[in-house]
Amino acid sequence: MSANKAKLQPFKLLQRGLATAGLALLTACSASAPQALSPVLPDKIGGSHPVPSSPTRFDLPEGQSLIGRFWASPKPRHIVLGVHGFNDYSKAFDPLAQHLVTELQATVYAYDQRGFGANPRPGIWPGADTLLADLRHIAAQLRERHPGLPLTVVGESMGGAVVLVAASEAPGLAADRLILKAPAVWGANSMPWYQRLSLFTMNLVAPDMSFTGRGLPSLGIRPTDDIDVSRDLSRDPLFIKATRVGSLAGVTELMGRAQTQTDLPPQRTLVLYGLRDRIIPLQPVCDWFTHLNTAVPQPGKIDVVIYPEGWHLLTRQLRTREPLQDMAHWLQNTPLPHLQTPLQAQETVCGKR
């Protein structure tokens, strides 16, 4: 191997390791014409009168504020707070909000996490503890704003990791129920050695270097089978398309923290995961369920739904009807025939590796 090729090898390994931290979401932004997938008959829920979102801000104790939005029900019966994924922002919750406002008379809030969306310094990792503190503060605000109404916090991907850790660790999270949608539970322990080594090395010597997800679609790594969603993300100026090494290291640490929790949230929790997910793939999810069933005293408060044809963006794929209805029915305490326990989910996911 030549000297130049030897110098490039760590960078190639890190590029390959981008997918391990959920950065394959960048594949939606790396091409103007996303690669065509096998034809799938869409199964979506679309309202005849879409509910517009309204802008809002959430004030933080130190005098800062975070950009947010909400979808209002005239007489709300439920309050829902959405916590988005890595490089995404609050717009991600529009399909879910449309459904919950219509079906549950819910008022749905979502906010751009610090370092993402329309907030200052997008792309700069703020630190996991900062993200946890922001979520706890915003949830407490909504408790005060809507006394007497049940509050459900929904976390997607990285947002699922934030919700899981915030609710599991002291001082906890002011919420009645939690939904973890394709939660980012991919810690370093579930990564191959070369990914751990390249990430550690690059974060040490070049934390400001940025990478995109170009090339990952050719490996079959994409977040959704809905080409319209991929195009929308690729054109959205608020969706981050180049990721710093330091941010990748930060989200990996957060995912590992979520994956290895031994104290589960006291709230009833619903976990949704699709077997076609290659952003948070089978092995780390298998490792997480195995951990829940061996190291956690009482994983019985967790309900799980596994979708054999589900992608990472479960509410932004061609088949959104089932995940949307499942979430609404679960919040209404309607029995779900395909609900699984964590032990059953472990058998399902680990059996598909």
Nearest to 147 by CA among 178, 174, 111, 166: 174
The CB density around residue 121, as the number of other CB atoms within 10 Å, is 10
What is the DSSP annotation of 218-231?
A: GGT--S-S-HHHHH
Please tell me the predicted confidence (pLDDT) of residue 101: 96
Chain segment 269-291, per-residue pLDDT in tens: 999 999 999 899 999 999 999 99
How buried is 37 (Cβ within 10 angstroms: 0-12 exposed, 13-18 middle, 19+ buried)?
Answer: middle
What is the share, in percent, of the chain residues with pLDDT greater than 90?
Answer: 69
pTM score, two decimals? 0.90
Q: pLDDT by residue (tens digit) across 26-59? A: 333 333 344 555 567 788 877 667 899 999 999 9
DSSP H helices in the chain:
3-17, 94-104, 128-145, 158-168, 193-205, 227-235, 245-259, 282-295, 321-331, 342-350
Q: How far apart are CA 266 and CA 311, in angstroms?
A: 28
Query: Which residue's entry shows tokens 């996303």?
Result: 34
The reported pLDDT for the residue numbered 219 is: 53
The residues near 128 (Cβ < 8 Å, ≥ 6 apart) are: 162, 165, 250, 253, 254, 257
The DSSP result for 265-311, as a single string, is -SSEEEEEEETT--SS-HHHHHHHHHHHHHH-S-GGGEEEEEETT--
Q: What is the mean pLDDT of the chain?
A: 87
Provide the pLDDT for residue 110: 98
* pLDDT of 330 higher than 60: yes
- pLDDT value, residue 139: 98
Q: Tell whether the model's pLDDT for residue 13 goes beyond 60.
A: no
258 pLDDT more than 50: yes
- Encoding tokens for residue 224? 């959704």
User: Cα–Cα–Cα angle for 331, 150, 180, nearest 5°?
Assistant: 50
Average pLDDT over residues 50-75: 95
pLDDT, residue 189, reads 84
